[in-house]
Structures are given as structure tokens and as C-alpha cells.
A and B are shown apart, each in its own frame.
Chain A
Amino acid sequence: MRGKVIIFVALIVLLAVITAMADTSSGLTGPQGPIPSWDTVVQMAKQEGSVSWYAYGAEYDKLYFESLIPKFEKQYGIKVNFIFGDWYAFLQKLLAEKKAGQSVGDMDLVFTWSIPFNDAWNAGVVWKYPWSYVIPNARNIVDAYLLQYTDMIPTNGAFVPFIWWQVAFLYNKQMVKNPPQSWDDLMAWVKANPGKFTYCDPNTGGSGHTFLITLSQWLYGYDRYYNSMGLPYNKALGSELWNTVGPKGYSLWGYLKELQKYMYQPGFYPAGNSAAISLFSKGQVWLEPQWLDVTASWIKQGLLDPNIVGLYIPKPTMDAGGMDGLFIPYNAPHKYAAMVLANYLLSNEVQTGIVLDRGGAFPVVTGVMNKPEVIQAIKTQPYWVPLDSVTNPLWLRSGLYMDELMKDWTQIIAKSQ
């Protein structure tokens, strides 16, 4: 009897040891030291066999992302588990897993934007390996800077941009013959056309916060914010700067309060991009900052009459992006497959599809914008602006300051009624 017990226990111990020694998933640890060859990566990915891609956006984004999957699955034989939700929930899930010490998670590739990425990085839930240097298609990125920073927040190669969303000024072509050509002209135009301008609540819509950060960069000078070339993030900059009058003759809050008096329903801010463009489509406002892709979606859904749509970039420029992108969580079980999927999303084919099929967003890789069908589409479709009006000069959103701006705006502007 005792002998049987001893053997039984020994077997259990042996089983435990073998299990512990076994590589639970090669993807779990991912490459460790020097950058592996791409062939190795693809091989490991195929062994992993599946990848979970978590993405956020509007309903039309969901449909668009889903349309990209079948070709990938066919080409690599790797199954894609696509989960669509909201970026906040993804972050919460990772934070909870980290807190619980969970080393194996569910998420392999996460599509998100700069500020939640920053939160994720600070919380230690991002896989910190500079995998953007592993994937070959990342070498085609329009600017190498984008592999190290997103909205001026350092990414250390762990974040890969995927789509270049762009905000422009949207104006009613039929009602407005002379939209304000530059930021200098905006205040005067709004005063001359009271009730015809709006921007959305920056906490619920990116067109609002992109408008705000570009405005503050224009008011005080872009180089006060540009913080990737040695100018560190200065948390106190906001409170120092935004109440003081800048070279353009306004303080930021002073400008916004003055602007508010002449806006559509002064004190009222549409709750989100859709709410803002809804007002525009009804002819209630004639000018507003708006995403090109939202404009494209509304036209395609038959909600916005393309004959009234005019889009342009006011001089000197509008901040480029955000270039929302992809990161791999620290506990992703299929890191190799995640890299292969990310690489696929950066392929020329997919990036061209962003322009031609999705519409209203720019590619993040080179070799797309100079294609004849792309040039043709941009010329003929009503939801584009010429790319060089955005890139000359090229301004980027200062993510950390933008985050502060959003919070302060609610206190100073929204609640000041």
C-alpha cells in the first residue's frame, strides 16, 4: 500500500516538473535578444496558429477591419480572432490582468491611440521589445520618427502606426464663398458669421481635441510644444502658458471664451464627432473642424450631401493625425502571429485599401500616395484634402499636453456658463 502511494506521488511530481519545463507557448516570451529573421518570425507565427486582434472605432470601422481578415487568414493560414470594443475596456482588462499577476492573457494585437498607449506603457502592460524594427513593412513607414513616437509620446519601437486619421476644416460649399484661409482669419470669420461655427466637446470627439491642440500651438508657437528633440514634457507648461497672452494677441482660454460668444448656440458643444457633423449636415453650422474619415462615412451612408462638402487645411497647417496604431500586450500568448498580422496591416495592399476602400484616411507607408488610382481618387472624391497641405509644415499633436487640455477645457470652458 505504501509503495503504491510513493509511486503515485512520484508520478505527480514528475508530471508537474515536465509541465513546468515545457514551453507553454513560444509566443509567450517572443524573441528575446537580437532581432530574429523575418522567416523565423513567420514560421513561429504559423506554429502559433492564431491571433486575437482587439480594435476600437465606429461601427463602420468594425466592418472595414473585418473585411481585411479573410485575405490574411488565407495567405498565412493563421486564424484571426477579431474583437471589437472600446479602448478604455481593453486598457482596464490589461491593468486588471497585471494586478492579478496573470502572465498569459487573451489579447495579442491591440489597436489604440496615443494617450491610452501611454497609460498602458506607464502601467507596464505593453510588451517593450522594439518589434517595429522586426517587421519588414515598417521600413516603409512615411517617417521613421513614427516608430519611436506617437503624438510626441515616446514608444521605443513598441507601437506601430496603422492608419493616419486627419482633421480638416469642413465648410458648406454652397453657403460659404470665403472660408477663413488661415488660423489668423478664423476669429474674424466666426464673428462675421455668428452661430455658424462649432467644434465638438474635446473629451468626446477627436476633432475637438485636435482642433484645440493645433490652436494652442498656433497661439504660442509650435516650438514651445515640440518635445521630442530634447525639450522634455513640462507638466506645468499648461498652467504657465494657457492663461498668458501669446504672440497672436490672445491667451488660449481668452481666445476660446471670445470664440464661444459667436459660436452656434454659445455654450453648447456637440457631444462627439458625429453630433458635430450632424449639425453640419442639417445646415445648422457652416464651418467646423472634422475628420476626413467621418465625413467620408457620412457621405457613403447617405447622411451628408456631397454637394455641400468643402474640405481644406487652414494655414499654416492642422496637426497631422492621430496616427492610431498597434501594440502587443506584455502577456500576449501569440506574439509572433501578432507581428505577422501587424506586418500585413502595413502592407502596400492594405494601406492602399485604406485610401480607396475605407476613404478619408491616409496611409502610413510610402509607395501608396503616388499610385495613379490613388491620385485619381483623391482628386475626384469629395472627402480629401491634398496631403502636402498637411505636411508643409508638418505639425504633430503634443499628446501629453493635449490630454491636459482636454481635462482643463471641461473645467474652464464647459462649466463656465
Chain B
Amino acid sequence: MKPKVKFSVALLYLSPVIIFYSFIFVLPLILVFLQSFGLYSLGSTKPPKFTLEYYLKFFDLKGPYLESLWFSFWNSALATVIISIISFFLAIFFYFVNFKGKSFISATYKIPLFIPYLISAFAWWNLLSPGGYVQRLLAAARIVNPNMLLVNDPNGIGIIVANVWMNFPYMVLLIIGTLKMIDPTLIEASRTLGSTFWKSVFKIVLPLSMPGFLAGSILSFIGMFGAFSVAFILGASWPQYMSISIYNDVTQFSQYGMASVQSVVYMISAILITYLYTKIIAKIQGERK
């Protein structure tokens, strides 16, 4: 039984963290928020003046910003779905199957975790560019049209491939973690009652491991949603991930107003998605019980 402690006492212990994040995180976000309304000048020497013009420009249905936000969302979501499917089967494989050399394979699949995103993105850019090994293989095997662009392309194919490669090890580990929490006698019981291995997996393992893995996958998705280096190396001129659009507005065009509006919307989207997602999972779990 943990002793109860008043929040005001806890504050003392939390103060280093609170002070740190207030200056290095909260304050900059406030400035960005103010700039989005024209009330603060991030970089230019324009005098502050309240305006909604940046927001209006952002929400213009014919404009590029909403498109950019949508692209960031569906591209990352698709990658997350693909990762989830692949990782689930791989996790089952690693959890239930034992074979010689398993330790080596088990270490091998973790390698992408230790390679910086920038390097992985660059490697996949090499492999998927016209004339790259993977592009040649896929074209020779007639899986893709030889003329089809696989990187810097308008569908973000290269971004998805690189994201999958970089993030599936984390998901596999996550799912294995949830598998370990399932009572193995449940599966045994299902097998003795006549179900095949795969039927047991789908009827028992999947539903039981789902909540844990869904909860963990949101961080993976949000990470990809807000990432920069992958989209930078593998993305096309258009459509752009919102992170790239913001970066360009700040570094090339000195458009701080639009950069900050995009940032505000980007941040709120990420937080909103996370919140809704966790609420939905909690609801599903609640209904289950």
C-alpha cells in the first residue's frame, strides 16, 4: 500500500522537471502559438499585430496545407498498419517457434533499431532509386512497372518502405511483450479442444494481445507522423510531410506566420489523435469486460 502524498508536496520533487520543460518546451510552444496569431515575431522584424490571416490561409480548402497534413496522416497510418501485420506474424513466429540459429535471427531483426534514421533513409533511397538494387529486382520480377518511381514519389512509397524497415523491430518486441502476459494454458486448452495452431492464434492470442499492442503502436505512429529525416530524404517536392513544409517555410522562405500555424495544427493533431486513440482502446477494453 503506497503512502498517500499531497500534490503540493510532490511538486517539490517534480520541480526540476517542471522548470526544465517550462523553459525549453512550453515557452517555445507559447511563442509559436502567439506567432500564429501574429502576436509575436519569431524571426522577422515585423511588428506584432493580431491577425487571423495565417489561419485562414491554412484552412483554405484549395491550399496546400490541409493536403500536406492529410498526406502526413494517411502515409504514416498506412505504414503503421503494414508494420502491425508484419510484426504480429513475426512475433508469433519468434514466440512459439524454436530453431537452431534463432538467437542469431533474433538479434538480426533488431539491427534497424540501432541504425540512425538518417542512415536507414539514405540506404533505402539508394536501393529504391531508379537503378537501385531493390528497384531493379522489383521491376525484373514484374512486381512494379519499371517506370514507376519508388522514392521521391507522390505516393510516399519510399517513405513507407523505409518506415516499415525502421519500426517493425520495435513493434515485434512490443507484441512479444504482450504475448508473454497471456496465460499459456489458454492456448493449450484451445489446442486440446481441437483448434489448429492458427485458429488458436486468431481466436485467443490476437484478441488478448490487441489492447497492449494497440496502446504501444500509437507512439510508433505519432513518431512517424511527426518525423523529419525520413520524409526529407525520401519525400517528393509534392505532397510534403508537414514537418518538411514547416522546415522549408522557416529556412527558405522566412514565412514564420505560416510555419507557426502549421506547427500549431500539427501539434494539436498529434495530441488529438493520441487522445482519441487511447480513449477508443479503453472503450473497447471496457466493452470486452
Contact between A and B in the complex (any CB pair below 8 Å): yes
Which residues of A approach B to under 8 Å, CB–CB? Answer: 86, 88, 92, 95, 98-99, 119, 123, 195, 201, 203-204, 265, 267-271, 275, 278-279, 282-284, 407, 410-411, 414-415, 417
Given contacts A269-B237, A279-B130, contact A99 B45 (CB under 8 A): yes
Indicate if the CB atoms of B252 and A88 lie closer than 8 Å: yes
Q: How far is the CA of A204 from the CA of B237 in the complex (A)?
A: 9
Among B17-25, B149-157, B162-170, the stretch in contact with A = B149-157
Given contacts A268-B153, A271-B152, A282-B130, contact A88 B251 (CB under 8 A): yes
Instruction: Among B64, B248, B253, point to the contact of A415 (Cβ < 8 A).
Output: B64
Indicate if the CB atoms of B130 and A284 lie closer than 8 Å: yes
Indicate if the CB atoms of A417 and B43 lie closer than 8 Å: no
What number of residue pairs across chains A and B have CB atoms under 8 A from each other? 48
CB of B92 within 8 A of chain A?
Answer: no
Q: Given known contacts A265-B147, A284-B131, A414-B238, what 16 new A-B pairs fall within 8 Å (CB)?
A: A86-B251, A88-B252, A92-B43, A95-B44, A98-B45, A99-B45, A123-B45, A195-B147, A201-B237, A203-B248, A279-B130, A282-B129, A282-B131, A283-B131, A411-B64, A415-B64
Interface of B is mostly: loop
Q: Which of B44, B129, B130, B153 has the most CB of A within 10 A?
A: B130
CB of B218 within 8 A of chain A?
Answer: no
Indicate if the CB atoms of A268 and B236 lie closer than 8 Å: yes
Given contacts A123-B45, A279-B130, A284-B131, contact A417 B238 (CB under 8 A): yes
Indicate if the CB atoms of A278 and B129 lie closer than 8 Å: yes
- How far, in Å, is A214 (CB) from chain B's closest CB? 21
Indicate if the CB atoms of A271 and B237 lie closer than 8 Å: yes
Indicate if the CB atoms of A275 and B251 lie closer than 8 Å: no
Indicate if the CB atoms of B252 and A203 lie closer than 8 Å: yes
Q: How far is the CA of A92 from the CA of B154 in the complex (A)?
A: 32
Indicate if the CB atoms of B252 and A417 lie closer than 8 Å: no
Indicate if the CB atoms of A265 and B253 lie closer than 8 Å: no
Indicate if the CB atoms of A268 and B149 lie closer than 8 Å: yes
Q: How far is the CA of A387 from the CA of B236 in the complex (A)?
A: 35
Name the residue of chain B whose CB is nearest to the CB of A270.
B152
Interface string of B32-65 (1 = CB under 8 A from A): 0000000000011100000000000000000010
- Determine the chain B residues whose CB is within 8 A of the CB of A414 once the complex forms: 237-238
Q: How far is the CA of A33 from the CA of B252 in the complex (A)?
A: 37
Q: How far is the CA of A265 from the CA of B253 in the complex (A)?
A: 27
- Determine the chain A residues whose CB is within 8 A of the CB of B149 once the complex forms: 265, 268
- Determine the chain B residues whose CB is within 8 A of the CB of A95 once the complex forms: 43-45
List B185-217 residues whose CB lies under 8 Å from chain A.
Answer: none
- Determine the chain B residues whose CB is within 8 A of the CB of A99 once the complex forms: 45
Indicate if the CB atoms of A275 and B152 lie closer than 8 Å: yes
- Determine the chain A residues whose CB is within 8 A of the CB of B236 once the complex forms: 268, 271
Q: Which of B152, B248, B251 has the most CB of A within 10 A?
A: B152
Q: How far is the CA of A283 from the CA of B252 in the complex (A)?
A: 31
Name the residue of chain B whose CB is nearest to the CB of A201.
B237
List B93-113 residues whose CB lies under 8 Å from chain A.
Answer: none
List B119-166 residues whose CB lies under 8 Å from chain A.
Answer: 129-131, 147, 149, 152-154
List B206-253 residues whose CB lies under 8 Å from chain A.
Answer: 236-238, 248, 251-253
